[in-house]
């Protein structure tokens, strides 16, 4: 009997796991520098929360949810997206009763029952932010900028930002009917005709050429925004210009959740194959009210960690620290081995990443392990050195080696590692 990871899931293992950590931290850094607090919510919620929040017409709710009954007969669902759960938590814990807007960030897995392919998995991780309780267009711009800034810090250069406004409950219904009238006159297959009735805007970003060819004269939402939505959209774009953010207006950009209104955006990367979206988000005024909370608007995003890493790979970037430690201790002989245990403790307590060879490896093998660990320094400690209360400290980059009194080793290495680090990562 042997086992493998469930279909559509994968393990994050070395050496790639170091990049995973680094990208996760990089995506989270801009929010942390911008007044966002960390939140964590359950990975499963009441099924009804997602049905109401995400929307009954969405594919996510209709065919992609991992739903099950627990032993108490409750219908629960592994969260397919992050926003609904965070809003539920904000309402339940009363976070909105303080100063507004509430600004939070989070990271964690989402689950959708999909057919896996490149960049699409049944479990994927997103870093997200939600801001609740303000309809200031400057906040829309800030949220977008956070993602742009994260991409910039990582070093990604081939990310495109697509921007649209979906209107609001005042102006969208009229546009929706206009669009439906147009779409009903086209030659479409049965599935698509059904979509025209359920979610007509989704037809606009159909990938098939024969569909797109018929859409050239389709009415566009941006031509039918109400005064307030148009003003909001213009202001968001003005702020983005001020921030030096580049974007492409895409009036056909539609997103998968029903809750989006006004601002919507998506980050796409052209080096990823079919699943090119590495993140997206938008404004969701009205969502909190539909899940039983006060009528506070909000704007947020989800950035796909998995796909961002694919983008990093596609651009040939190296991120993260591949070295496991800075100092590798090589003990020779039984007495030296005993002394190594406390030496390592002292190094680690002093904040020096350090390791040693276990299992009685020979000197040669241990030195080889030191090399592979990525350590900058090796400490060779033999019984011969121990008698003189010294250790041999070797600079593995230059090959220089010198004897250092044992009681000075930790202090000397702390300094040496610091020097090494600033040399390798200036600024």
Positions in 108-137 near RNA (CB under 7 A): 112, 114-121, 124, 126
Contacts of 396 (CB under 8 A, 6+ apart): 370, 371, 375, 376, 377, 378
Q: Does 14 bind RNA (CB under 7 A)?
A: no
Q: How many residues bind RNA (CB under 7 A)?
A: 71
Which range of residues in 86-94, 96-104, 248-256, 341-349 is near RNA by CB under 7 A?
A: 248-256
C-alpha radius of gyration, the chain, whole number: 27
Q: Does 172 bind RNA (CB under 7 A)?
A: no
Tokens encoding 13: 């293992």
The Cα–Cα gap between 254 and 21 comes to 31
Q: What is the DSSP letter of 258?
A: T
- At residue 14's C-alpha, the angle toward residues 13 and 16, to 5°, is 90
CB 50 to RNA: min, Å: 13
The β-bridge partners of 392 are 380, 403
Q: Does 370 bind RNA (CB under 7 A)?
A: yes
How are beta strands 298-304 and 354-356 bridged, if at all? unpaired
The Cα–Cα gap between 275 and 30 comes to 25
How would you list the strands of the sheet with 377-382, edge to edge?
Answer: 354-356, 327-332, 377-382, 390-395, 401-405
Maximum Cα–Cα distance across the chain: 93
Taking the least distance from each CB to RNA, the nearer of 44 and 328 is 328
Taking the least distance from each CB to RNA, the nearer of 2 and 349 is 2
Which range of residues in 140-148, 174-182, 223-231, 278-286 is near RNA by CB under 7 A?
A: 278-286
Q: What is the DSSP letter of 146?
A: H
How are beta strands 123-132 and 298-304 bridged, if at all? antiparallel
Among 371, 407, 408, 424, binds RNA (CB under 7 A): 371
- At residue 189's C-alpha, the angle toward residues 183 and 190, to 5°, is 95
Q: Does 354 bind RNA (CB under 7 A)?
A: no
Q: Does 363 bind RNA (CB under 7 A)?
A: yes
Taking the least distance from each CB to RNA, the nearer of 136 and 205 is 205
CB 357 to RNA: min, Å: 10
Which range of residues in 11-19, 98-106, 276-284, 285-293 is near RNA by CB under 7 A?
A: 276-284
- At residue 119's C-alpha, the angle toward residues 114 and 124, to 5°, is 65
Taking the least distance from each CB to RNA, the nearer of 306 and 326 is 306
Q: Does 151 bind RNA (CB under 7 A)?
A: no
CB 193 to RNA: min, Å: 12
Taking the least distance from each CB to RNA, the nearer of 70 and 190 is 190
The Cα–Cα gap between 174 and 171 comes to 6
Helix (H) or strand (E) holding 46: strand 44-46
Closest to 308 (Cα-Cα) out of 272, 354, 266, 260: 272
CB 158 to RNA: min, Å: 15
The interface mask with RNA, positions 386-415, x = CB under 7 A, is: ------x-x-xx-x-x--------------
Q: Does 378 bind RNA (CB under 7 A)?
A: yes
Which range of residues in 44-52, 156-164, 200-208, 291-299 is near RNA by CB under 7 A?
A: 200-208
Q: Does 100 bind RNA (CB under 7 A)?
A: no
How would you list the strands of the sheet with 44-46, edge to edge?
Answer: 44-46, 75-78, 66-69
CB 380 to RNA: min, Å: 4
Which range of residues in 54-62, 176-184, 242-250, 316-324 is near RNA by CB under 7 A?
A: 54-62
The β-bridge partners of 45 are 77
Among 79, 96, 172, 195, binds RNA (CB under 7 A): 195
CB 337 to RNA: min, Å: 13
Tokens encoding 33: 């520098």
Taking the least distance from each CB to RNA, the nearer of 75 and 388 is 388
Taking the least distance from each CB to RNA, the nearer of 351 and 365 is 365
């Amino acid at each position: 009997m042997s086992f493998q990871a469930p279909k559509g899931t994968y393990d994050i293992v070395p050496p790639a796991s170091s990049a995973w950590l680094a990208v996760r931290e990089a995506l989270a850094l801009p929010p942390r520098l911008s007044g966002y607090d960390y939140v964590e919510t359950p990975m499963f919620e009441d099924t009804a929360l997602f049905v109401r929040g995400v929307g009954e017409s969405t594919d996510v709710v209709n065919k992609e949810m991992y739903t099950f009954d627990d032993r108490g007969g409750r219908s629960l669902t592994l969260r397919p997206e992050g926003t609904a759960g965070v809003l539920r938590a904000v309402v339940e814990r009363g976070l909105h009763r303080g100063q507004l807007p509430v600004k939070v960030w989070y990271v964690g897995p989402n689950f959708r029952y999909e057919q896996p392919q490149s960049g699409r998995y049944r479990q994927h991780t997103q870093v997200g932010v939600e801001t609740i309780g303000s309809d200031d267009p400057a906040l829309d711009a800030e949220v977008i900028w956070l993602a742009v800034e994260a991409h910039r810090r990582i070093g990604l250069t081939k990310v495109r930002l697509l921007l649209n406004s979906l209107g609001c409950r005042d102006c969208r219904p009229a546009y929706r009917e206009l669009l439906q009238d147009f779409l009903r006159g086209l030659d479409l297959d049965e599935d698509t005709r059904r979509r025209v009735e359920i979610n007509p805007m989704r037809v606009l970003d159909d990938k098939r050429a024969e569909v797109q060819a018929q859409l050239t004269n389709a009415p566009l939402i941006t031509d039918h925004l109400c005064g307030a939505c148009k003003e909001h959209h213009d202001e968001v774009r003005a702020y983005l210009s001020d921030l030096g953010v580049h974007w492409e207006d895409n009036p056909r950009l539609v997103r998968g959740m029903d809750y989006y209104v006004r601002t919507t955006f998506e980050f796409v990367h052209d080096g990823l194959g079919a699943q090119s979206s590495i993140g997206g988000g938008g404004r969701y005024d009205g969502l909190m009210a539909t899940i039983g909370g006060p009528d506070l608007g909000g704007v947020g995003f989800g950035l796909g960690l998995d796909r961002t890493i694919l983008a990093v790979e596609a651009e040939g970037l190296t991120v993260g620290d591949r070295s496991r430690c800075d100092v590798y201790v090589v003990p020779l002989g039984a007495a030296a081995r005993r002394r190594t245990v406390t030496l390592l403790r002292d190094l680690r307590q002093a904040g020096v990443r350090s390791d040693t060879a276990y299992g009685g490896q020979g000197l040669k093998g241990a030195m080889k392990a030191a090399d592979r660990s990525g350590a900058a320094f090796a400490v060779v400690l033999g019984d011969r050195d121990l008698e003189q209360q010294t250790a041999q400290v070797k600079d593995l980059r230059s090959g220089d080696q010198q004897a250092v009194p044992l009681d000075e080793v930790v202090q000397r290495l702390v300094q040496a590692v610091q020097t090494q680090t600033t040399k390798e990562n200036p600024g």
